[in-house]
Amino acid sequence: MKDFIKELLERNSHLTLHNANEAETRKKLIDKIIEEVLDWKDFDISYEERVSEDGNTTFADYIIRTADISILIEAKRIGDSFNTIPNQKRVKLSGQIMEGKTGDAIKQARNYCRKKSIPFAVVTNGSQWILFPAVRTDQVSFSSSYAIVFDSLERVLGEESEYFKSLLSRDGVIDGNLATELIGRNTDQFEERRLNRFFKGSGTRSTNPIYPLIENEVISAFSDSIINSDKDLLEKCYVKNADRQKFDNRIKMHLQKREPLFSSQPKRPMRKRESASLFNSITAASSNSRPLAILILGTVGTGKTTFLQYTRRVASESYFEKSNNELYPHWIDIDFRNFSQNESPINFIYSSLFEYIKNDDYFSDYNRSIKNAYSEDIKALKSGPMFLLSKNQDNFNEKITEVIMDDYNKVAPYVDKLIKYGAAQSPVFLVIDNIDQFEDDETQSNIFSDAIALAGRLNINLIIAMRESTYVDHRNSPTFDAFDFDPIHIEPPEIPAVLSRRFFLTGQMLSEKKGSFTALNGADFKVDDLSVFIDIVKSSVLGTEIGDRIDVLSNHDVRLALRMTREFLARGYTDPAKALQTFGSTKKYTLPKQEAFRSILLGNQSVYSEEYSVIGNPFDSRLGRSNGELLRMFVLGALVKHSSNTGSGSLDGPTIRDNLKAIGFSESDTIDVLSDLCEKRFIHTKSHGRADLSSSYFASRLGGHIIRSLLSDFTFVENILMDTFISDKAVWEVLKLLSQQITDERNVVDRLKLRASRCRSFYSYMITQYKPLLEEATRRSLDPTWLSNPLEEMLKELEDNMQKAIDSAERNYGNNKPKKA
């Protein structure tokens, strides 16, 4: 490299001596610096690109582009010395620097940039380099901006070479250094250009008028806390079948599985032949020479807690049956949902054990438990320090009571004594659940170590339930490494089966319950049997598109599926009277799917917001930069295509990083996008771990449906667009105008046509935003996995769906009937 720098400096001197023209300066010096010092590739550089405006055409010397950024470089002959350059490295773009040849070159480059919408410019004669922001979107004027000046090639290649390269090299520009240095930030989205900041729907969303009559039953049946209900309710709601779908025919995508966490196959109690695995381990515990240590693992919302409670209260009910005169096993639940980080995990565990002891028939009985637990201590005191006092039995008993009460008040010594003794007589199971309610690694680690140490010291059986990702984060810790756990894997149950049982239970609870509500037309509508409405909802959900949507959107998370169902029961239907009337006369009625789907997307908000919705926004990567807005979709599209093409495998982090870097995005952008996609459940890591470059990634079923189905869904697109940043001012004004017209329009059909126009305008704009990503990927010959435009692929289907909605509205409302929607 030293020889190369020496050669450039000599070449600079030679060109200066011979007063070389611009072409020679560019060829022999500037090209070398751009390509070999700054490491820009042929694919990145456009030479002599046409700049046209008002019938005048000129040519820009260099335009450097990636999918995310563009820079214009205006070259001058080496003899053109920028004599008006001040001595400072950082100079305001006003005054002396804007005079003479220096000012002319800066103004020329600035004007080119304005015509081409290029944010940054460089002017150079090969020796001197001036970097400045040419087009700003943050309301800062050009004359208030600053340029960075390198006043000689000796500085550029010598003492300031690292700074020069950090700003202008390919890696430096992609990492955002140039933008940060010139405008103070690496973002260009400043104004509030999200429609949900200006249009709030109807303000507060109306409740389904029948919902107050069925609310208690719905909450009871669709609660994710069914574990706190009675045994019969738990048994009716429990689903034993795992979801084993391997291929989704609707989106033609293979559904990938994550890597196994253990070298040996864990027990899978959701499968029929292994359904009694935990029960068998529990009942065999009394004959084991050493206590059990069991890990219950599963993803978020798969039902780990429900499985534990079903095992305890249904499958093992007789085993844990209490007796007044015989020993019996103990199941001690410690649920960390009730834990506060203001206390220590060990104190919380002891407090929970203490509560169990106080309320248990065996442990609270002095003659059955307490006396025997302290027998060795009493014997030692009687023959030792309290020997003289023991001559008087009453005084001795009083002192022994003081000893026990002292332990009782301290809690931990008392718990240790009784649990250790009890465990020697009959199995004691310490069941630790929901330890990952807190994302803090230190808290989780303390819970593990405290629970394991306590179980070992008291010789009791330990069952710990946690997410697979939590186990992955801690499995190499000394705590886990030193303990031999038997793993049990809880596979996600079939969501339709879960919903079917919950609907059945709701119907039973509402059977023959009467009520009345105010219908949409203001009339008092009486219902003799509210379970009929649940029958209508059930037939509208199970085996239908909306049922499939809940299944897909929940992505195996039972808790989320139940929440979505509660949401659309509460707010998803505005005219239950019509449903009940039609069903009463025809015995058939299907509730409008778009109402239910919209309710699921919005939750309790009046307009879509990613922050509050169960579904993330694939149209907005939240990077703060317009050129990277569709990076989520770009990565997700590649992963979906990969799963469709190969049927197996995944893309590793470095491969994704290298492909994004090739088109102009930084490693931090890659990590941000992958983390968001994982958090939104669009993709998963193969290893169960967190998103980082060491992980491999595959598209989830939800991610596949986003790319292959939901992008063409009118309801989905028109709601998601409300929380998508619109960088183009002209498009923003069109969308704002259409949104206002939609708000003001009373005619149902006309309003629907306006909604379709807004959706079409938004979608067309998103296609134009996606094209630079695809063009850069194509130009750089990325793998075909990356070379598709899912928006264009789904456009026709979206148009068809919008037309179906308009046709339906015209059939139902006519073209000129000003009815309320």
The model's pLDDT over 269-280, given as tens digits with 9 standing for 90+, comes to 777 777 777 778
Q: Per-residue pLDDT for 818 more than 70?
A: no
Question: Alpha-carbon distance 625 to 187, whole Å?
Answer: 5
Cα–Cα–Cα angle for 699, 704, 707, rounded to 5 degrees: 120
Question: Alpha-carbon distance 542 to 797, whole Å?
Answer: 25
Residue 704, burial from CB neighbour count under 10 angstroms (0-12, 13-18, 19+): buried
Helices (H), 184-312: 211-221, 231-237, 277-283, 304-310
Q: Per-residue pLDDT for 316 more than 50?
A: yes
Orientation of helix 412-425 relative to helix 345-359, angle to 10°: 60
Looking only at Cα atoms, what is the longest distance across the chain?
Answer: 119
CB 710 within 8 A of CB 281: no
pTM above 0.85, yes or no: no
CB 85 within 8 A of CB 77: no
Question: Alpha-carbon distance 618 to 724, whole Å?
Answer: 9
Mean pLDDT across the stretch 327-356?
Answer: 92
Cα–Cα–Cα angle for 223, 224, 226, rounded to 5 degrees: 70
Query: Where residue 429 falls among pLDDT bands split at 50, 70, 90?
Result: very high
Domains of the chain: 2-183 (3.90.1570), 206-268+491-604 (no CATH), 273-358+426-487 (3.40.50.300), 360-423 (no CATH), 626-813 (no CATH)
Question: Alpha-carbon distance 277 to 136, whole Å?
Answer: 65
Question: Alpha-carbon distance 522 to 520, whole Å?
Answer: 6
Question: Alpha-carbon distance 671 to 107, whole Å?
Answer: 38
Q: Per-residue pLDDT for 815 more than 60?
A: no
Helices (H), 329-433: 345-359, 371-373, 375-383, 393-410, 412-425
Question: Alpha-carbon distance 277 to 52, whole Å?
Answer: 75
Mean pLDDT across the stretch 796-806?
Answer: 96
CB 616 within 8 A of CB 676: yes
User: In this predicted model, what pLDDT tens digit does every residue of 31-67 receive, in sequence order?
Assistant: 999 999 999 999 999 998 888 877 788 899 999 999 9
Question: So what's the pLDDT on residue 713?
Answer: 96
The token duo for 617 is: 């926004």
**Single-letter code of the amino acid located at 817:** K
Pairing of strands 486-489, 293-298: parallel
Higher pLDDT, 514 or 247: 514
Q: Per-residue pLDDT for 609 more than 90?
A: yes
User: In this predicted model, what pLDDT tens digit does every residue of 278-314 receive, in sequence order?
Assistant: 778 877 776 776 788 888 888 888 888 888 888 888 8
Question: So what's the pLDDT on residue 310?
Answer: 86
The token duo for 247 is: 């291929």
Residue 106, burial from CB neighbour count under 10 angstroms (0-12, 13-18, 19+): buried
Q: Indicate the SS3 state at residue 643.
A: helix
Cβ neighbours, 10 Å, residue 360: 17
Q: Report how far Cα 309 is from the mean position of its chain's Cα atoms.
A: 28
User: In this predicted model, what pLDDT tens digit does every residue of 616-665 receive, in sequence order?
Assistant: 999 999 999 999 999 999 999 999 999 887 666 789 999 999 999 999 99
Question: Alpha-carbon distance 135 to 281, whole Å?
Answer: 70
Orientation of helix 345-359 relative to helix 441-458, angle to 10°: 50
Mean pLDDT across the stretch 537-561?
Answer: 89
Query: Where residue 520 falls among pLDDT bands split at 50, 70, 90?
Result: confident
Nearest CA among 568, 560, 519 for reference residue 540: 568
Question: Alpha-carbon distance 291 to 454, whole Å?
Answer: 12
Question: Alpha-carbon distance 185 to 387, whole Å?
Answer: 80
Question: Alpha-carbon distance 584 to 578, whole Å?
Answer: 10
The token duo for 227 is: 């574990």
**Single-letter code of the amino acid located at 699:** A
Q: Per-residue pLDDT for 474 more than 80?
A: no
Lowest-confidence pick of 489-498, 734-743, 808-817: 808-817
